[in-house]
Amino acid sequence: MLKIWSMKKEQQKDENSAEGNGAAAPKKKKVTAAQLRAQKDLSELSLGTTMSTEFPDPDNILSFVLYVEPDEGMYKGGRFSFTFNITPSFPHEPPKVQCREKIYHPNIDLEGKVCLNILREDWKPVLDLNAVIVGLQFLFLEPNASDPLNKEAAEDLRNNREGFKRNVKIAMGGGSVRGESYKRVLI
Amino acid sequence: MATTEVHPASEPARWAYLDRIRTRPGPFTNPDSFDGKVVAEAMENMKILVIGAGGLGCELLKNLALSGFKDIHVIDMDTIDISNLNRQFLFRQTDVGSFKAEVAARFVERRVKGVKITPHNCKIQDFDEDFYMQFQLVVCGLDSIEARRWINAMLVNMVDEEVEDSYKPLIDGGTEGFKGQARVILPTVTSCIECQLDMHAPRAAVPLCTLASIPRQPEHCIEWAHVIAWDQEKPFPDLDKDDPEHITWLYQKSLHRAREFNIPGVTYSLTQGVVKNIIPAIAATNSVIAAACCNEALKIASNCAPFLGYPDNNYMMYSGNDSIYTYTFRHERKDDCPVCGTLARPLPDIDQAWTLRDLVDSFAARPEAQLKKPSVRAEGKTLYMQSPPSLEAQTRPNLDKTLVELGLVDGQEIGVTDPAFATVVFKYRLKFKS
């Protein structure tokens, strides 16, 4: 049988590593890799003044709500929230992000699904939660008519930018746009 | 239907070729560690664990039993489905519905005299460290990344530098269609599955907006029905991918959308395939990969030839897409690997009467850490997070509680992060002063 132990000793000699990992202790309740990574991402989160978080259960850092209050752009004055659900496969899989309010936005559909490349096809494990929230912020500053999830909103943005801006105001104020009624999200 | 009762050649003849490898030194044997007199006996006393009794698992069990391993355990939680029978050759139609591990074990035991196979019809997560400690070698034929990460973390965390037997080599095989890989992991010595996570290509996803506005392929229509139409209409409370009624609903929706965009090719079985992310399993790929894995097991157990893993190459990839191609290379360990890069270090002399604040402050004084803004968590328990602000406010009251009040016990593992060390996660094992 192979002797990994002696290999390890050899390797340690080579690396001249002095760090000991210590003797056997009852090892219990290990911190999982997904949680460690989420902890790391959260402790480096830069939310700025326009965003805040809420943890329904602080012991479960894999599930939280992000509030976004854009201070410029067409959605200025509104307050939107997104649920973040991090799966045990994180960071192999992206976090699941969904908008809780009904929103008139070309890249977010009426169910709250978000069309953001890094939340789906362009996610890489090297990306972190900061990248995702920067992406969300960007969607509010630069709604994008060429990747529509809400086709009507995208059409409006493409054909009549001023009309689109008005519609955003109406929707955020709790009015109806194109037969859909929205809840008031102004602060 | 052929019966499984066959009479192999006499037993000594069956092992003749194997024994030639096991008893004689050859051009590849290591003169320092090969001892032909003891190999066969050592292998017979070795306990080896196979995880998964599916496509790869059937091959692995058969190969290992025929390679001279006598004490094999196998874990699989699944039962046999009729669609398994084309490649999972240890199963017959009458076995449908029975546990895979159970049936596979009995079949191989019947065919290979003297081998003992112990089946476990459960999840790998149902066992603890004590169970895994009894094996000398673990061979995986799994289909999920999650299970691989779990067993990898288990084996890495089991390593105790003072205890030689705590090092368990992990041999991992995997296949997807015509492609596969075989790799050997020597926990904490060579790069682990977590280090190699980027080798698994994430499932190719189609942009959501393509699904919503400009589908071009039948798969786009099915994905649209799956991720968008289902949520809008909620025909059933929860999607059960194994319920034909649910798949039929998705199929009808997809078909309708495909007609709208003039896209041919949506069928019921394609719907099933896309929704369940089925990649056709190829029997030949399984046998190539399982053979490679078994070869590594034999080499590790007998020292008859250098094996994959140390000091050089540890990863063999195979592609049968366009003719046959294999490439073997060395995947480096990652220093910041959250599993093997940071083994939990003991944190001695902790007074259980300490408050969490005492513990948090102590990290600033530790020479290897020197953390000014540490955030601390235990599994399932957020102790103190410096950021984001809402979590800081929620966990601040913990700072004045004692470690005991917070439910921390001797030997508990905690994770410590600090924005000043962006790439490092510190793991510690609390050791209370007695």
Confidence class for position B9, pLDDT limits 50, 70, 90: low
pLDDT tens readout for residues B71-126: 999 999 999 999 899 999 999 999 999 999 999 999 999 999 999 999 999 999 99
The CA-atom distances, in angstroms, between B74 and each of B71, B160, B234, B284, B425 are 10, 25, 40, 22, 34
DSSP-derived secondary structure letter, B145 = H
What residues in A contact B158, CB-CB < 8 Å? 27
Q: Which residue has the tokens 């190719």?
A: B204
pLDDT at B370: 77
Choosing among B38, B124, B131, B209, which should be mutated to test the A contact, i.e. which has the most A CBs within 10 A? B209
Active site residue B293: no
The minimum CA-CA distance between A123 and chain B, rounded to whole Å, is: 9
pLDDT score of B316 more than 50: yes
DSSP string, B195-253: TTGGGSPPPP---HHHHHH---SHHHHHHHIIIIIHHHH-SSSS--TT-HHHHHHHHHH
B40 token code pair: 């066969």
- What does the pLDDT average to over B369-392? 90
In which element (H, E) is residue B255 found? Answer: helix B244-260
| Least confident among A3-7, B43-47, B51-55 | A3-7
Asked if A58 and B389 come within 8 Å (Cβ–Cβ), the reply is: no
Distance between B32 CA and the closest CA of chain A, angstroms: 11
B131-143 pLDDT, tens digit each: 999 999 999 999 8
* pLDDT of res. A19: 38
Q: Where are the beta strands (DSSP E) in A43-93?
A: 51-54, 63-68, 80-85
Distance from CA of A70 to the nearest CA of B (A): 18
Distance CA A46, CA A183 (A): 29
Neighbours of B205 (CB within 10 A): 17
Q: What is the mean pLDDT of chain B?
A: 90
Assess contact for A81 and A66: CB atoms under 8 A.
Answer: yes
Q: List b or e across A48-72, with b for residues whose CB sees 16 or more CB atoms inside 10 angstroms.
A: eebbbbebeebeebbebebbbbbee
At A18 the three-state DSSP class reads coil
CA distance A105 to A148: 9
As a whole number of angstroms, the distance between CA A144 and CA A109 comes to 13
Tell me, rounded to whole angstroms, the distance of Cα B44 from its chain centroid.
Answer: 26
Residues 87-106 (A) with a CB less than 8 A from some CB of B = 88-89, 92-93
Q: Render pLDDT for B336-365 as a digit per residue (tens, 0 to 9).
A: 787 887 667 788 888 989 999 999 998 888
Chain-chain contact of B197 with A92 (C-beta, under 8 angstroms):
yes
Closest chain B residue to A146 measured between Cα atoms? Answer: B209
Q: Whole-model pTM?
A: 0.72
| Closest to B129 measured CA to CA, from B162, B155, B150 | B155
pLDDT value, residue A16: 46
Nearest Cα of chain B lies from the Cα of A28 at a distance, in angstroms, of 6
Q: Which position among B58, B122, B195, B209 bears the catalytic label?
A: B209
Q: Does A14 touch chain B (CB under 8 A)?
A: no
Contact B387, B422 (CB under 8 A): no
Q: Which residues of A are catalytic?
A: 115
Kindly state the percentage of chain B with pLDDT values over 70. 95
**For residue B264, is the peptide bond before it cis, meaning its omega torsion is within 30 degrees of 0?**
no
Contact B79, B101 (CB under 8 A): no
Average pLDDT over residues B249-256: 96
User: Could you give the 3-state DSSP secondary structure of residue B84?
Assistant: helix
Dihedral, CA atoms, B397, B399, B405, B409, nearest 10 degrees? 140
Name residue B412's beta-bridge partners. A28
Which ranges of chain A have pLDDT less than 50? 16-27
Give the model's confidence band at B270: pLDDT under 50 very low, under 70 low, under 90 confident, else very high: very high
